[in-house]
Amino acid sequence: MTNGLLIVFTGNGKGKTTAALGMAMRAAGHGLKVCCIQFIKGSWQYGELDAIKRFEGLIDLHVMGKGFTWKSENLEEDARLAREGWDLACTAIASGIYHTVVLDEFTYLLHYQMLEIDPCLQILTNRNPNQHVVITGRYAPEQLLAVADLVTEMRAVKHPLQAGIKAQKGIEF
């Protein structure tokens, strides 16, 4: 017996979205369909997007929201985008066509209370038991961790931005 897993990559270190991207491409490598929903616009950039294109028909990527976790000037608009993204996630989860659904940077929506957590957890835990869901982002709430099957905390031990090296193509984006 195998089971769909609810996987969370959290913590302040690098590699959360990258690991989710790797999982998406690995599943697609098996010929399995994946839906990726990116809740913070800009967190996946050209390298990812071009890589994803090589799996056309297998990985469906949706870019929702914008950089709404900080310096927001319009909280209502942000909450509306969050709900829209979550509605799309619910549709993808319910559709039954995806082996894996990736909710990239989704934790922020819960952390910043753009969404009510209980109904979200209900959808996540009542999904088809064979479907995998991968959630990334810092500040994963305890309630989410409690219902997850696999949680990895990416802990920043050392980060080059600390040393003043700027973000660069093929590494940070």
Q: Distance between CA atoms of 37 and 60, rounded to whole angstroms? A: 8
Dihedral angle of Cα 30, 36, 41, 42, to the nearest 10 degrees: -10
Rounded CA-CA distance 129/9 in Å is 20
CB-CB contact of 4 with 129 (8 Å):
yes
- Taking CB under 8 A as the rule, does residue 76 contact its own copies? no
The set of residues, in sequence order, having a beta carbon less than 8 Å from that of 113 and lying 6+ positions away, is none
Which of the ranges 21-29, 35-43, 60-68, 112-120 carries the binding residues for its own copies, by CB under 8 A?
Answer: 21-29
Asked about 100 being catalytic, the answer comes back as: no
- Catalytic residue of the set 9, 39, 55, 68: 68
Interface positions, 120-139, toward its own copies (CB under 8 A): 132
Q: Using the rule CB under 8 A, is 104 a contact of its own copies?
A: no
Interface with its own copies (CB under 8 A): 1-3, 5, 7, 9-11, 13-23, 25-32, 46-55, 99-100, 132, 145, 148-160, 163, 165-166, 168-171, 173
